[in-house]
Chains A and B, each alone.
Chain A
Amino acid sequence: MLRSLSLTPEEWSAVILSVKVALWCVLVTTVPGVAIGWVLARKRFWGLIMVDAVVHLPLVLPPVVVGYVLLVALGRRGVVGRFIYETLGLEVAFTWRAAVIASAIMGFPLMVRAVRLGMELVDRRLEQAARTLGASPGRVFVTITLPLAMPGILTGMVLSFARSLGEFGATITFAGNIAGDTRTLPLAVFTYTQVPGGEGPAMRLVVLSVLLSLAALIVSELLARRVKRMVEHG
């Protein structure tokens, strides 16, 4: 089993790229995810339902549509893409950054839902008590809300990571399928299945993919349990 899992350099690069993209994806979505999750859990204003709908859009849209929209907007000739290229000299489309953006957007609804759930479980009476003790709203958020919502936030981070590992449609449309550059694990599996004699490498990557996702979920569960214990029982 282990021997059959020895990977070629090309396969390795797909695995490493996938993990790198997934980590970046978590990194860039956590802060906005917590912010939007908090707004959805706590704020009531006109237009909230619109924010909610937009955030959840990637969950129901075909991924290829999301990828195409990103390509149009962030491609070198797109409105935003041209601006970024001209001011920062950065190319986005068809680079690993595009893979990060594609999977970040696809995973964002999952992150927001988990954070929101975590925030909704925080007892607001504790926040009131903190205020009567002299804590400003910002301090209440950092010292009470955030730690108590941590299980939800961690779950959101892991879901975002796992979703990124599995992202296919938006990535291939927006980032392309460039070996060593944007060919993540799922893309590599897809590529191998399209060429004769690719069954072996494809199967190895499939097994690895399953193991990686399983590991992410187990780590998340262990982490969530640990945080929960920390929060509730010391």
Chain B
Amino acid sequence: MLDLDITFGRGSFSLRLQAKLTERVIGLFGRSGSGKTTAVHLVAGLLAPRQGRIALDGRTLFSAADRINVPAHRRRIGVVFQDTRLFPHLSVRNNLGYGQRLAPAGDRRFGLDQIVELLELGSLLDRRPQHLSGGERQRVALGRALLSSPKLLLMDEPLAALDQRLKKQIIPFLQRVRDRVGIPIIYISHEISEVLQLADHLLVLDEGQTIGCGRYGDLAQEHRVLDHVLPTGLMNVLEMIVADHEQQSGCTRLVLADRVGDSDAGAPRFELRSALSDVAVGERVSVATRPQDIALALAAVEATSVRNQFAGTIRRFVHHGGQAIVELDVGAPLLVEISSGSFSRLELAVGKRVWCLLKANAVQLLGVCSRS
């Protein structure tokens, strides 16, 4: 568990971080300039806070009151930097081994071979970082950080420098690391859809202030967070499995993937029809839909071009700036954004059953996770 209560200031910029992070995977979300990278440097020990306390799993890393400031190399906090920072004078193999050799023998969690296999680095080992593509460099940086066996892994916008195509290629590796490696992760990004692919608990920063911390669905009902998130847009991110390509409609049918720890495996799963074409049956994919792309109706609509109609129950809602942010239970939590006017015209309320309408081409593919 990471316990943060720190302030930091430099020039006109000031940062106030206050959170108790208990989930294993946390997304740190904020606009550029909100202080995310400064927060990473503070937690990693590359910068010293002015005031406050940082503790990881009960071990105090920084305390202004007790004059404790554990230096970065003894914090055992790994960082995957946006600019990878691979050592240019070392081969990939030696980059990977750099931190591994420095970890106390009893704390080493992986062998080189395991990480090489996990991140598919086998063919790169004898190359120099200069001869790698952007995506390869990022995988090596991730492997290097993992091999140092950190107690916490900070991923500071590892995809920001990559184009869309490469992002889609790297995210599965990040998800693999999340699912197969037991290291706590804080994933930092300014893109909500990217964060949500890896974490459903978020810490939201804006202008150096902690404005929210908790489950995404809960944060989407908080005004302070909505003030911050709405300009860029809320997002529903779902992990689904490609069921089949429907011949007559030309749609691809997706079913909700099991979440780890799901028990009601027998219940009918939430399904979506999408216009995705470059995915294969059986693949596990991340898809996104924007809450404002979903329309609500009180009854099923016959004779419509809209491909997706499904029923859900309103769990909660909040009115914010003329919009109603509604959380539905459709077999998974789903956010819908409609105008407050429509909301009252339909006389919606918590517990009410409604129909959702979603066009197939409003379902975007974020990435292919793996074959299931």
Contact = CB atoms under 8 A, between A and B. Distances in A.
Contacts of A143: 98
Interface of A: 123, 125-126, 128-137, 139-140, 143-144, 147-148, 230-234
B128 interface: yes
Contacts of B91: 234
Contacts, number: 78
B43 to A, nearest CB: 10
Interface stretch (B76-84, B176-184, B362-370): B76-84
Interface of B: 44-46, 71-79, 81, 83, 85, 87-89, 91, 98-99, 102-103, 127-128, 130-131, 144-145, 148
Nearest to B147: A133
B89 A128 contact: no
B102 A232 contact: no
A2 to B, nearest CB: 42
Contacts of A233: 128, 130-131
Nearest to B100: A133
> Among the interface residues A128, A136, A139, A140, which one has the most CB atoms of the partner chain B within 10 A?
A128
Nearest to B78: A132
Given A132-B44, A233-B130, A234-B131, A125 B87 contact: no
B89 A133 contact: no
A234 B41 CA distance: 31
B73 A147 contact: no
Given A134-B103, A147-B89, A148-B89, A129 B127 contact: no
A75 B74 CA distance: 50
- The secondary-structure label for the interface of chain A is helix
Contacts of A133: 73, 78, 98-99, 102, 144-145, 148
B79 A135 contact: no
B131 A131 contact: no
B77 A132 contact: yes
A131 B89 contact: no
A29 B303 CA distance: 88
Nearest to B150: A132
Given A126-B87, A234-B91, A134 B148 contact: yes
Given A130-B98, A233-B130, A234-B128, A125 B89 contact: no
A148 B129 CA distance: 14
Contacts of A123: 85
